[in-house]
Amino acid sequence: MEEKFLVFCVKGNRYAIPSKSISEVAVLDKYFPLPLVPDYIRGIINRYSIPFALIDICRFLLNDDSDSHKIIVLKEEIDKLAFLIDDILDIVDLPHEKIIKTDLEECSSARSIKAYFEWKGSNVFCIDTEELINCIKQDFTR
């Protein structure tokens, strides 16, 4: 059994999201800042007349601001989120036995990383979109 992942980079680090969670990859046109939100939420973007929260994944994971203009938009039925990324690297078909589970929960910068795999000589960290959404919701309740 294989799963497809979209591999992308942020500040030289490689990450992956299951392709079944992704609606589209696009170039960021403009966004509208929001007050009183966590610092990793840049604001709102408009995708086909639907507002999506723009998450600076670099700020969320690495505590550093991104100056990128590419986005990954999640499928609307998952949540209305888009992630600011540096670049798309590849789409990878990966057997489940190649995905290594990890427990990085104690590290706040890795709170949504639950697994990784090796790809082209480097580790690629898998973002658990469900956990990421839970983290965002928790940050809003604080």
Domain boundaries of the chain, sorted by first residue? 2-141
The pLDDT tens digits for 111-134 are 788 899 999 999 999 998 888 888
Domain at 2-141, CATH from 3.40.50.261, 3.30.420.40, 2.40.50.180, 3.30.70.960: 2.40.50.180
* Average model confidence (pLDDT) across the chain: 90
**pLDDT tens digits, one per residue of 69-103:** 999 999 988 889 999 999 999 999 999 899 998 86
Task: Decide if 34 contacts 41 (C-beta within 8 A).
Answer: yes
Q: Residue 106: pLDDT above 60?
A: no
Q: Are strands 70-74 and 22-27 parallel, antiparallel or unpaired?
A: antiparallel
What is the reported pLDDT for 112? 85
Average confidence (pLDDT) over 27-37: 93
* Beta strands per DSSP E along the chain: 2-10, 13-18, 22-27, 41-47, 50-56, 70-74, 81-85, 87-95, 100-101, 113-119, 122-127
